[in-house]
Amino acid sequence: MKTKAVRVHEAGGPEVLRLEEVDLPSPGEGEVLLRHTAIGANLIDIYHRTATTGQYAIARPATLGVEAAGVIEEVGPGVKDAKPGDRVAYWMLPGAYAEKRIAPAWRLVKIPDDVTDEATAAVLLKGATACYLLHDIWKTKKGDKILVHAAAGGVGRLLCQWATHLGATVIGSVGSAGKVEAAKSAGCAHVIVLGEQDFSTEVKKITGDVGVDVVFDSVGKDTFESSLNTLRPLGMMVNLGQASGPVPPFDVSKLAQKGSIFLAKPTLATFSRNREVVVALANKLFKGLQEGAITPDIGLTLPLDRVADMHKAIEARKTTGSSILVP
Ligand SMILES: NC(=O)c1ccc[n+]([C@@H]2O[C@H](COP(=O)([O-])OP(=O)(O)OC[C@H]3O[C@@H](n4cnc5c(N)ncnc54)[C@H](OP(=O)(O)O)[C@@H]3O)[C@@H](O)[C@H]2O)c1
């Protein structure tokens, strides 16, 4: 069988993305054949497209994308918990930018009947990230003061919504004035525009010189050092991404100087390591969605053959909320 997939043969700009026809084998032991209906685009796809060294370098040629929703068309030997016709989705499984794919059944989660495929592709990876960050990395409680960078973005917006739902006061930062409203509507009590305001000074003002309990920093290189200055003693710095580049080597004695603060560098891969963890996180995520702790917000939908335009928009920081590719 053949399918269309967006492949990269070398690292580079959006021009290296090629929609190609590729062979698909029959599903093997423990695998399913899945027809995608909605594919989530994530900043990590751009790290995978461009990286030649480090944490995000991938073996090429490769099909990009790590998240999608779809329908099972065929199951391989030994698959017990899934059948043709099931609506399912997955996160952090390379090879999502395709009309169809072979996927290991244990990585798939069922989509609840009242949740659309598009909503799932909008919130699954990003919402699962927000979920484990707010429940497992930092145990968020009423009254917490939280700083979220890229607050109008995919993960950022859901972090702000869920943290607000849990009773925290959220300060969001955005890269341009046009994103302020999006951050406010995600629940931010205060929004700081990076470049226009010095965010560590602003956070100190907002918190009456106390500092925040936790910072969720997905921007990395440009914000890391200043983010440390926004924390109260014994607060936690969570570096979850590197939109502006990787954080340079760091002198850990600074954690002591800044008030015995904690530093975390968590990854969703740890929260996808086995079936039990995947199902528990998906259940919590869909419950959060059904209870209104988070809502999907799809800022950009494009067909799969316009994936280069989507990457350009994400890299140019023009997107808010989630971005979806439709096969
Ligand atoms: N650790 C984990 O488990 C995990 C899981 C998923 C995602 N993540 C991380 O979460 C972050 C958000 O991912 P996402 O897919 O939802 O993307 P996104 O937030 O929708 O897009 C990235 C945002 O980062 C901000 N940014 C700041 N500096 C930038 C730069 N130099 N270039 C591009 N963007 C820049 C921009 O917002 P402004 O214009 O408002 O600054 C941009 O919109 C990423 O860093 C990603 O790696 C981490």
Cβ proximity of 240 and 214 under 8 Å = no
**Is residue 236 domain-shared with residue 298, that is, in the same domain?**
no
In short, whether 310's Cβ falls inside 6 Å of ligand 1 is: no
Asked if residue 136 is part of any domain, the answer here is no
Mean pLDDT taken over the chain: 98
> Maximum Cα–Cα distance for the chain, whole Å?
63
Number of domain units in the chain: 2
Within its chain, how far is the Cα of 86 from the centroid?
24
In this structure, the answer to whether residues 249 and 190 fall within a common structural domain is yes
Q: Is residue 154 part of a domain?
A: yes
Pocket test for ligand 1, best of 42, 56, 131 (most atoms within 8 A of CB): 42
* Mean pLDDT, range 257-281, rounded to an integer: 97
Distance of CA 321 to the CA centre of its chain: 11
Alpha-carbon separation of residue 59 from 7, 211, 240, 306 (angstroms): 12, 42, 23, 23
Alpha helices in the chain (DSSP H): 43-50, 117-132, 154-165, 180-185, 199-206, 224-228, 253-257, 275-290, 307-315
What is the pLDDT confidence band of residue 286, given thresholds at 50, 70 and 90? very high
Q: Please check whether residue 314 lies inside any domain of the structure.
A: yes
Domain boundary among 216, 247, 265: 265
Confidence bin at 254 (pLDDT 50/70/90): very high
Per residue in 101-132, pLDDT (tens digit) is: 999 999 999 999 999 999 999 999 999 999 99
Residues in the chain, overall count = 327
Give the separation between CA 106 and CA 319, rounded to whole angstroms: 32
Within-domain flag for 30: yes
Answer whether residue 55 is part of any domain.
yes
Q: Write the residue with the smallest CA distance to atom 43 of ligand 1.
A: 317
Q: Is the CB of 219 under 6 A from ligand 1?
A: yes
State the average pLDDT over residues 162-178.
98
- Over range 227-242, report the average pLDDT: 98
Q: How many angstroms separate the CA atoms of 73 and 100, rounded?
A: 9
Residues 295 and 253 in one domain: no
Are 101 and 66 in contact by the 8 Å Cβ rule? The answer is no
Which of the listed residues 219, 250, 265 is the one where a domain comes to its end?
Answer: 265
253 lies in which domain range?
A: 142-265
pTM above 0.85, yes or no: yes
Ligand 1 atom nearest to CA at 268: 3
Q: What is the pLDDT of residue 319?
A: 98
Same domain (yes/no): 177, 216: yes
Q: Are residues 148 and 255 in the same domain?
A: yes
Same domain, 157 and 75: no
154 shares its domain with 261: yes
Residue 104: CA count within 13 A, CB half-sphere: 10
Q: 244: CA distance to ligand 1 center in Å?
A: 8
Task: Band the pLDDT of 90: cuts 50, 70, 90.
Answer: very high
Which neighbouring-strand residues pair with 263?
A: 237
pLDDT at 251: 96
Does any ligand 1 atom lie closer than 6 A to the CB of residue 75?
no
Do 160 and 248 lie in one domain? The reply is yes
Quick one: how many helices (H) and strands (E) in the chain?
A: 9, 16
Q: What is the CATH number of the domain that holds 119?
A: 3.90.180.10
